[in-house]
A and B are shown apart, each in its own frame.
Chain A
Amino acid sequence: SQTIHQWPATLVQPVGSPLSLECTVEGTSNPNLYWYRQAAGRGLQLLFYSVGIGQISSEVPQNLSASRPQDRQFILSSKKLLLSDSGFYLCAWSRRGSYEQYFGPGTRLTVT
């Protein structure tokens, strides 16, 4: 069976510090990978998606970037965090040729 992991589960970082969130998927190959953010009082927003190693598409301009160094690894980064980056970050995956997405447990980021 397939599983998706995210870490850390929670993170408190000061404004201006760097960020690295990691997501890995097990039990499948060549997945599509996604990063979403859920901010307080707002719906989930797609930040990035990837259809292969090194292939990243950004949905919204922001202070964040994403990378996919390995087939089943997806990393969300920032060089300098802003207060507005606080939120619940969710990673998801889908099989090639399928649009059904499966979500990880999420990372709660608080920028102080």
Chain B
Amino acid sequence: KQEVTQIPAALSVPEGENLVLNCSFTDSAIYNLQWFRQDPGKGLTSLLLIQSSQREQTSGRLNASLDKSSGRSTLYIAASQPGDSATYLCAADSNSGYALNFGKGTSLLVTP
């Protein structure tokens, strides 16, 4: 079974800093890895999806990388803002491709 781990569990940074969130997964035979954002009490917002054939994806200030061989993905947030405060979730799919296996998330707080 695919196990996904996210480090750190919580992170607090001052506004303007660049930061990296880490995600590791146990089974490298994935089709995709997806990063989500979750605000308190809300659903998930898809940020980036990296297909297994890709190495990275970028959207605005966000950049996600994927290294299948080492079972790792990172989400890089440039020039962080207070509005970036949320929980960030990483999810890797299984062999079936349907089930997303989630980490427990990194809770990010960006202080003004």
Contacts from A to B (Cβ < 8 Å): 6, 32, 34, 36, 42-46, 49, 51, 57, 59, 90, 92, 99-106, 108
Contact = CB atoms under 8 A, between A and B. Distances in A.
Contacts of A103: 36, 43-46
Contacts of A59: 99
8 contacts: A34-B100, A42-B104, A43-B4, A44-B44, A46-B100, A99-B34, A100-B46, A103-B46
Contact of B49 (A57, A92, A100): A100
A111 B31 CA distance: 36
Interface of B: 4, 31-32, 34, 36, 41-46, 49, 89, 91, 93, 97-105
B34 to A, nearest CB: 7
Contact of A99 (B4, B97, B101): B97
Contacts of B46: 100-103
Contacts of B31: 99
B52 to A, nearest CB: 10
Given A99-B93, A103-B44, A105-B43, A49 B98 contact: yes
Interface of chain A: mostly helix, strand, loop or mixed: strand
Contacts of A105: 42-43
Contacts of B97: 99
Contacts of A34: 98, 100
A49 B96 CA distance: 11
Counting chain A CB atoms within 10 Å of each CB, the highest count among B43, B46, B101, B102 belongs to B43
A104 B38 CA distance: 11
Contacts of B89: 43-44
B41 A108 contact: yes
Counting chain A CB atoms within 10 Å of each CB, the highest count among B32, B99, B101 belongs to B99
B110 to A, nearest CB: 23
B45 to A, nearest CB: 8
Contact of A100 (B4, B34, B43, B103): B34
B99 A99 contact: no
